[in-house]
Structure 1
Amino acid sequence: MSQSQQLNSTLQYQSPFPCANVNGGIACRGTGGLVCASCMLVAYCDPFCRFQDRTHHAPYCTLPFLDSTWVPSWSVEGRQPTFGREGYVAPFATHKNIWGDVPALDILKLDQNEGVQYHKDLALLFAASGDLRNVIKTVTSLPRTFRNDLTITINDNDLDVVARNIILLLTALLSAKPEDAATRMIHIWYSAFIRQSDLEFLHGVVRPNIERVCSNLEGEDLDRLHSGTFSRGSYSGVNVVLPKKSWLALLKYLEVPDGLPLDQARQVRTAVTLPAGHLDYIEHNYFPLLPAQRICWHRFRLDGVLLPFGASRKPFDTPNPTLFHSANWPYRGDSQPIQGWGFGEVIKVSTGEASMDHYGKLFYYLQEVFVKFCRDLRSRNLSFCLYNQDIQHLARNLGAQSFARIELSNLSEEPYIDPDLVSRCLVPLLQVQTMNPYATLIMLFTKAVWAQINTSYEIPAMAKCAPTMATLIPQVVMPPGEQDPIVSKFLLGMGLIIDVDDLFDKYLDSNQAHRMNCDSTAVKENHTIVEKWPFRPKLTPGQYGTPGELAVMLSSAALGLARYVEYKSLLS
Structure 2
Amino acid sequence: MITDYRYYREILARLQKPVFSIAHNTGFNASSTPSLEAYMSYGLGSGIHGKTVSELLCSNASNRGAGGVSCSNTGLLACTQCSLVKYCSGRCQRQHWSRHRLVCEHPYLDSGWEPSWIIENRQPLLKDPTFLPPSNSVEVYKNSGYPPYDILQLTCNEGIDSLDDDLKLCMTAAGDIRNLVETVNRLPPGYSGRLDILLNNNNTILVNRMLVILCVLLSPGPSVEESAELATHLMYSASLPETAASYMRYCTNLIYGECFSEREMSFQATLRTRGRGKIYSAQPTVSIKRPTEMFSSTYSLTKALDSRREVIFDPLHMDDRDRILSGLKPAHRQALNRFWETGVLAPFSLDLRTFNCPNKLMFTPRGEWIGLPSDANPLQGWDVSAVRRAGIRHGLDPAGDILGCLFFHLKSELREFSSRIQEYNINIHLLQYDSRLLSKGISIGVLPAFSEAAFDRIDIGDMADQMGVAECLADWGPLLNRKNSSSCLIMHSKRWYEESPNSIARNNPRALKILTERCQATPKLEAPAIGESLGLYLREVHSIHSKRIGVPLQSGAQKLPNLSKEEFYDLFTIGAADLTIRFAEFGCRLT
| Shared fold, TM over 0.5 | yes
Q: Does 2:452 correspond to 1:427?
A: no
Contact 2:273 2:421 in 1 (8 A): no
> In 2, Cα distance between the equivalents of 1:458 and 1:92?
22
The correspondence of residues 389-428 of structure 1 with structure 2, limited to 5 A, is 389-399=433-443, 400-414=452-466, 417-428=467-478
Rate the CA distance shift 1:65–1:265 in 2: closer, same or farther, 3 A: same
Structure 1 residue 229: Cα displacement: 1.2
Rate the CA distance shift 1:459–1:242 in 2: closer, same or farther, 3 A: closer
> In 2, Cα distance between the equivalents of 1:108 and 1:70?
44
Rate the CA distance shift 1:465–1:111 in 2: closer, same or farther, 3 A: same
Rate the CA distance shift 1:90–1:299 in 2: closer, same or farther, 3 A: farther
The correspondence of residues 117-132 of structure 1 with structure 2, limited to 5 A, is 117-118=161-162, 119-132=164-177
> In 1, Cα distance between the equivalents of 2:396 and 2:436?
52
Give 1:345's aligned residue.
386
> In 2, Cα distance between the equivalents of 1:339 and 1:458?
23
Rate the CA distance shift 1:8–1:426 in 2: closer, same or farther, 3 A: closer
Contact 1:343 1:556 in 2 (8 A): yes
Rate the CA distance shift 1:79–1:92 in 2: closer, same or farther, 3 A: farther
Give 2:576's aligned residue.
557
Output the amino acid matched with 1:390: D
> In 2, Cα distance between the equivalents of 1:4 and 1:360?
29
Contact 1:153 1:385 in 2 (8 A): yes
Structure 1 residue 202: Cα displacement: 2.0
Structure 1 residue 498: Cα displacement: 4.8
Contact 1:103 1:558 in 2 (8 A): yes
> In 2, Cα distance between the equivalents of 1:369 and 1:544?
27
Structure 1 residue 151: Cα displacement: 0.1
Deviates more, 1:290-299 or 1:161-170: 290-299
Rate the CA distance shift 1:169–1:22 in 2: closer, same or farther, 3 A: same
Q: Does 2:236 correspond to 1:190?
A: yes
> In 2, Cα distance between the equivalents of 1:158 and 1:173?
22
Give 2:545's aligned residue.
530
Q: Does 2:143 correspond to 1:100?
A: yes
Q: How many residues align?
A: 522
Structure 1 residue 513: Cα displacement: 4.4
Deviates more, 1:69-78 or 1:167-176: 69-78
Match for residue 143 of structure 1 among 188, 193, 217: 188
Match for residue 486 of structure 2 among 415, 438, 447: 438
Give 2:25's aligned residue.
none
Output the amino acid matched with 1:254: F
Contact 2:62 2:350 in 1 (8 A): no
Give 2:226's aligned residue.
180
Q: Does 2:292 correspond to 1:251?
A: yes
Match for residue 90 of structure 2 among 30, 40, 47: 47
Contact 1:500 1:561 in 2 (8 A): no
> In 2, Cα distance between the equivalents of 1:464 and 1:80?
20
Give 1:383's aligned residue.
427
Q: What are the ranges of 5 or more consecutive residues in structure 2 without an aligned counterpart?
A: 11-46, 444-451
Rate the CA distance shift 1:456–1:234 in 2: closer, same or farther, 3 A: closer
Q: Does 2:306 correspond to 1:267?
A: yes
Output the amino acid matched with 2:111: S
Deviates more, 1:398-407 or 1:348-357: 348-357
> In 1, Cα distance between the equivalents of 2:328 and 2:576?
8
Match for residue 235 of structure 1 among 273, 276, 280: 276
Deviates more, 1:56-65 or 1:368-377: 56-65
* CA displacement, residues 81-126 of structure 1 (integer Å, 9 cap, x when unaligned): 2339xx9999999873534322111100111111133121000000
TM-score, structure 2 length as denominator?
0.80
Q: Does 2:325 correspond to 1:286?
A: yes
Rate the CA distance shift 1:44–1:219 in 2: closer, same or farther, 3 A: same
> In 2, Cα distance between the equivalents of 1:464 and 1:424?
37
Rate the CA distance shift 1:499–1:63 in 2: closer, same or farther, 3 A: farther
> In 1, Cα distance between the equivalents of 2:417 and 2:73?
30
The correspondence of residues 463-474 of structure 1 with structure 2, limited to 5 A, is 463=510, 465=512
Match for residue 57 of structure 2 among 7, 10, 18: 18
Rate the CA distance shift 1:47–1:503 in 2: closer, same or farther, 3 A: same
Output the amino acid matched with 1:521: L
Structure 1 residue 78: Cα displacement: 2.6
* CA displacement, residues 168-188 of structure 1 (integer Å, 9 cap, x when unaligned): 111122142111110110011
TM-score, structure 1 length as denominator?
0.83
Output the amino acid matched with 1:463: R
Match for residue 370 of structure 2 among 318, 330, 353: 330
Deviates more, 1:513-522 or 1:70-79: 513-522
SS in 2 for 1:337: coil
Give 1:171's aligned residue.
216
Rate the CA distance shift 1:95–1:387 in 2: closer, same or farther, 3 A: closer
SS in 2 for 1:566: strand
* CA displacement, residues 260-305 of structure 1 (integer Å, 9 cap, x when unaligned): 2222211100111121243222111211223332222211111110
Q: What are the ranges of 5 or more consecutive residues in structure 1 without an aligned counterpart?
A: 467-493
Q: Does 2:581 correspond to 1:569?
A: no
> In 2, Cα distance between the equivalents of 1:97 and 1:301?
14
Output the amino acid matched with 1:392: R
Give 2:536's aligned residue.
521
Contact 2:138 2:206 in 1 (8 A): no
Contact 2:220 2:274 in 1 (8 A): no
SS in 2 for 1:297: helix
Contact 1:92 1:332 in 2 (8 A): no
Match for residue 371 of structure 1 among 400, 415, 429: 415
Output the amino acid matched with 1:251: T
Contact 1:241 1:387 in 2 (8 A): yes
